[in-house]
Amino acid sequence: MYSGYLQFFMIGIVFFKSFKDAEIGKIVYKYIYFSIPIAFILFILASLVIGYLDSKLGFKEEEQRNQARSNPILMEILQSVKELEREVKELKMKEYQDSQNRKYQDMIKE
């Protein structure tokens, strides 16, 4: 997971080095002690924005869903969980019906 951030940061370094001979690169390298913290803060902000968009647009969930489909063991676990949820729902429904029947029986006895 963090290797992506490292790669993104390395791309940023390569990006800055490509502008070394350009006018903006001269300014960046002239004030290197100011530009590195600013670049780091911009990197953190860009990472937060990318992470926010990733969670809002649902790319990670979709990727996990696609990966789960290709993994038969994970599909088996998912099926077991769905079956357990169905059984729990049935038990709750049966318990509710039994409690309603008891209430009805109590009303009839009185």
Which single residue is written with the structure tokens 């940061």? 9
Domain boundary assignment for the chain: 1-57, 72-110
Integer Cα distance of 8 and 48 in angstroms: 13
What DSSP string runs through 11-76?
HHHHHHHHTTTSHHHHHHHHTHHHHHHHHHHHHHHHHHHHHHHHHHHTHHHHHHHHHHHH-HHHHH
Integer Cα distance of 8 and 2 in angstroms: 10
Please state the pTM of the whole predicted model.
Answer: 0.46
- pLDDT tens by residue, 25-43: 788 788 888 888 888 898 8
- pLDDT tens by residue, 54-109: 888 888 788 877 777 777 787 788 889 999 999 999 999 988 888 888 877 777 77
